[in-house]
Amino acid sequence: MATIEPIAQQAMRAFTSRSLRSRRFRRLLAIPLLYRVLIANSVVILIGATVGTYLATMLQGDSRPYVIVGFVFCGLLLSVVINFALLKFALYPLTHLRDTMRLVQDGDLTRQAPVTGQDPDADQLATSFNTMLAAIEDLAKSRASQILHAQEQERKRIARELHDETSQLLTSLLIGLKMLEEATPDETVRSRVADIRALAHQTLRAVRNLSIDLRPSALDDLGLLPALRWYIKEYQQKCGIEVDFGASGMKERLPAETETALYRIIQESLTNTAKHARATKVIITLSEEDGAIRARICDNGHGFDAQAVLRTPWQDRGLGLAGMTERASLLDGTVEIQSEPDHGATIDVKIPVTRAPQTEPVEVAVSEKTSEKTSEKTSEKTSEKISA
């Protein structure tokens, strides 16, 4: 015990001395750059003056000028080396900040300027730059959110006008053409009226599809799942691609922004599949777990080089991927794309969701039945009017 205590005391004193030296070094690093350069140059001048005075005293009466010239040259060289080393070390944070600014200028807004603690002025500049980047990112998200909201509102307005006005006028036109066809005895005229009525019916269907593509009323009235099931049904009929859709763990309505984002992402994925993938089957799964909504869209199409697409700037990716990524990021979500040529494509979407407390939960099954009944009633009423 007598021998252990002195060893412990020595170790404690060594640790204390090292911590004191570390604190002194950190305090030295905390000195601003201007004062560090001033101190270094003052030390160099002091050493040079001292050594010069000493040499002048020792070489008094000596007629060899090269000694004095060598001393002056060595002093200048020593001053340059010390200043270079000091400035290189002190400007290291500014070099990192410059590199970060270049990356941000190239479009990588996720970069952060390093705060090294070597220079308070450089650290303050880096902190201000990071704060500015965060403010720019928040402003960009706010503007993008406002733009998407205004776009959805305009889509909704146009869809309602197409449904309430244009579709009603075309339906009235169909009824009038039907009555004219039945009242005309001439077969030639009746044939031409029938052709015009078929064209009007085709136009009515195109207007109806356009209205639904712009903003399906089921998304606002019934929720995400009924709207998706209805869209997938129409998609299969129009594109001839088999779609297997499944949902689990979702028994309540999601926030309106989340429903709109998921609907648009899945809609864009299916559109890309129909246009580019040459697929015959798509599998869509939607689930809620761990406070987040997860969606996966898989197809058996030709696929593409996802790594090459992801390496390009997000504005130039095309295929609607930029819009999908932006919609998810505005809700603090992510979109991951996995694809290889001739191996299909898989898109994984994750969006965190925070539900507001509800007194009356909305069951998905009830919403689906209501959506199916509404669609059937609308179709029956339209058919009755046209056949009348």
CA distance 30 to 116: 11
* pLDDT (average), residues 350-378: 52
The pLDDT, as a whole number, for residue 329 is: 87
Q: Which among 239, 292, 243 has a CA at the least distance from the CA of 266?
A: 243
Residue 379's pLDDT is 43
Secondary structure letter of residue 116 according to DSSP: -
Place of tokens 């599998």: 283
Report helix, strand or coil for 284.
strand
> Amino acid letter at 238?
K
* pLDDT of amino acid 347: 92
Asked if pLDDT for residue 361 goes beyond 50, the answer is no
pLDDT band at 316 (very low <50, low <70, confident <90, very high): low
Separation of alpha carbons 333 and 347, rounded Å: 13
pLDDT of residue 244: 94
Say which amino acid occupies 21.
R
Burial readout 251-285 (b: 16 or more C-beta within 10 A, e: otherwise) = eebbeebbbbbbbbbbbbbbebbbeebebeebbbe
Residues forming beta bridges with residue 245, ordered by sequence position: 284
User: What is the strand order of the sheet 281-289 is part of?
Assistant: 242-248, 281-289, 292-299, 345-352, 334-339
Residues 188-245: tens digit of each pLDDT? 888 888 899 899 989 988 888 888 778 888 888 888 999 999 899 989 988 999 999 9
- For 110-166, the pLDDT digits (tens) are 778 878 776 777 778 888 888 888 888 888 778 877 888 888 888 888 888 887 888
Q: Is the pLDDT of residue 380 over 50?
A: no
Give CA–CA dist 378/388, Å, rounded: 15
For residue 334, which of 110, 36, 46 has the smallest C-alpha distance? Answer: 110
- The CA distance from 48 to 73, in Å, is 11
Highest mean pLDDT among 25-34, 75-84, 266-275, 363-372: 266-275
Return d(Cα 370, Cα 387) in angstroms, integer. Answer: 26
The winner for highest mean pLDDT among 41-45, 104-108, 178-182, 256-260 is 256-260
Distance between CA atoms of residues 2 and 12, nearest Å: 16
Per-residue pLDDT, averaged over 84-98, amounts to 77
Categorize the per-residue pLDDT at 388 as very low, low, confident or very high, splitting at 50, 70 and 90: very low
Nearest 5 degrees, angle CA 69-CA 73-CA 79?
Answer: 145
Q: What are 15's two structure tokens?
A: 């640790």
Say yes or no to pLDDT of 78 above 80. Answer: no
**How confident is the prediction for the chain on average, in pLDDT?**
77
One-letter identity of residue 46 = L
Domain 223-376 architecture: 2-Layer Sandwich (3.30)
pTM over 0.75: no
The pLDDT tens digits for 290-299 are 889 999 999 9
Residues paired with residue 295 on neighbouring β-strands, in sequence order: 286, 349
Distance CA(388)–CA(382), nearest Å, equals: 10
Counting residues of the chain whose pLDDT is more than 70, the rounded percentage is 76
**Greater confidence, 51 or 370?**
51
* Contact call for residues 127 and 115 (beta carbons, < 8 A): yes
Q: Average the pLDDT over 314-339 and give the result.
A: 79
Separation of alpha carbons 76 and 258, rounded Å: 68
Q: Where are the domains of the chain?
A: 4-105+119-133, 223-376
- Label the pairing between strands 281-289 and 242-248: parallel
